[in-house]
Structures are given as structure tokens and as C-alpha cells.
Homo-oligomer: A and B are copies of this chain.
Amino acid sequence: ASLDLPAQALESASHKADLLLTQTRNLSSRARGYNQRVISESDALAEEVVGVSRALKRDLQAARVALQSDDRWEEVVNQLERAQGVLHGNGPAGDLRRYAKTRQPYVLSLLLGPSSNVVALRKDQSQQMKVDYHRFRNRSAYTMFAFAAVLQWGLRRTQALSESRDGVSMAPVLLVGVQLFVCWMLFYYVASALRESVLKLNGSHIRPWWIHHHYWAAGTSCLLLSLPVDSPTFRKAINGFLWWPMLQSVVILTQNRYQRRRMYTRIALGKNSTMDVVAGDGVGAHGQLVFLYPLLFLLQGLQVYLGGVMIKHSYWAMLRTEGYLNLENRDDDLWGNRGFFLAGCLMIFMAW
């Protein structure tokens, strides 16, 4: 009997192993079938979406032209517009254009590769992405404010100390802090551009200029990181510059409150909400816009002002002929001044 027990265990284990092998093989066949169905169905859907959207565009254009000379076309235009509404998201499946293979935003094909696919077919997933995006912006805004405020305070303290010429100024530590902050900003802008591109592919109506704005901001961060941090110009100019991320974080927080409220209203109204309801809910959140718009103008004003100050203090370095083709005496700090001249131009350009 003591020999029987292991034999029994072996037999049952062998039986179980056979079963597991069969189960895994079946699973693989099922997965393959699933894959093939997904491929053929999504290809068919994509094709039909492209066909319908082309036909709609053409017919709608023609009908609108006809309407100008003949009122009876109004019903046709209405009907076609209703169809377009369904295509753009009023139907049960939401925005159908996601099924058509859209061109990948440049930043995604650059960083993730041209055949990467970030379109989520599941509505819950794509909605979660938007929630994540708002959370990311919220968290980042707090980080941005705290980081910039501490540096601002520290650098002011350093200046006061260096005027009275005593005490430990901590200037090198603060300047390294500034560079870490600039690295963080670079990360923030690149991540924003990437996440927004993903949202766009998933049907968000995010504006292209907003994504482009983040490319420019990332470029400006690279420029700031490349400047000689120990140069006198850098130390003078960075103090003013730090006001900008501080105000920007306040704007992001306010804007986020508005966008989030709007999003939750729309989610609550269900994805079958017509475009009219969307327009209506925008009016409902009007109270928030009253805060948002002046803040946005203030931010742009500050940006132009800071850019102007940078240019005013440093344009002389651009006019000098030395230092372009041969290296100059470092004491003139032509390098730092020219860097901030460029940064000032970029600031003003981005405010446009």
C-alpha cells in the first residue's frame, strides 16, 4: 500500500498534465480564432467607415451648394448632418472615425514607432485614459508650483545674502535644483504631448495647436538646460523666469477643474448625448470660464512680459560680432546672454 500511494499520485498527476496540455492547446486555438476574427472584422469596419465618411462629405457639400438656390434641399442637408452626427459619435458605438486607420501623430511615430497602436476599442479604457490625463496634470501642477516656489524663494534669499556678503548662500545647490526643475519640465511637456496624442487618436477633440505648444515648450526646456548655469546672466534671469511656471500651475489647476466637471457631466449624460446637449453643458459650466479666461490672459501677458525683459537685457549680445565664429572671453557672458535672447523669443512666440 505504501508503494501504491506514489503510483496513484503519479497517475493522477499524469492525467492532470494531459488535461492541462489539451486545455492550453485549445486555448491557443481559441486565441488564434479570436485574433483572426478581430482582424477581419476591424478591417471590414475600417473600410466601411472610410467609405461612408467619404460619401457623406461629398453629398453634404453638394447638398449645401444646392440649398443656397433651393430651399427644398434643407431636409436633405438635415438628414445628412444627422448621419454625420452618428459618424462623429452620436451613435451607440461613439466616434466611428476611430475605426478608420488614422495617421499617427508625429510624436508617437517618432517615439513609439510608426506601427505602434494606442487606439483603445473599449470605451471604459479610453475614458480611463482621460481621467488619468487629468490626474497627471493635476499632480504635475502641484509639483510645478512647489518646485518653482522653493527655488524662487531660495534664489531670492541667496541674492539678499550675496549683497550683504555673509552666510552660506547655497547658490550652487539651488542652481542644480533649477536644472533638475528644467529636466522635470522637459519630461512634463514631452509626457503631455504624448498623452494628448494618444487621447486624440482615441477620439478626443483636443486642438492640434495645443499639442504643438507642448513641443515648443519642450524645446525651450532643452534650450534652458543647455545654457551655462554658472553664468551671471543665468542667475539674474532665472528668477524672473520662475514666475511663469508658478502662474502656469495655477492656470492648469483651474482649467482642470473646468474640464473635469465638463467631462463628468458628459459621462453622466451618457455617450448617446447629442451634440446639442454638449453645447448646452458648456453653457452650464460658464461660471468657471469667468475665472479661466482672465487667468489665461494673465498667463499670456506674463509670458510676453518675461520674454520682453529677457530680450531687453540681452539683445546687445546679439549685436556684437565677436563670439559667433571664435570663442570669446567668458567674462562678457555672451553665451548666456544670447541663450536668454533666444529663450525670450521662444516665450513670446509661445504666447501667440
Contact = CB atoms under 8 A, between A and B. Distances in A.
Contact of A86 (B21, B132, B172): B21
Interface residues of A, number: 101
B24 A83 contact: yes
Interface string A181-195: 011000000110011
Copies of this subunit: 2
A92 interface: yes
Most chain B beta-carbon neighbours within 10 Å: one of A45, A113, A169, A325: A113
B17 A83 contact: yes
A79 B21 contact: yes
Contact of A122 (B10, B39, B228): B39
Given A13-B63, A194-B111, A226-B229, A28 B96 contact: yes
Interface in A316-352: 323-327, 330, 335
B112 A194 contact: yes
Contacts of A205: none
A99 interface: yes
A92 B32 contact: yes
B225 A228 contact: no
A61 interface: no
Given A10-B72, A16-B59, 11 more contacts: A17-B79, A20-B79, A24-B56, A24-B86, A27-B52, A31-B91, A112-B198, A113-B129, A115-B120, A116-B195, A168-B325
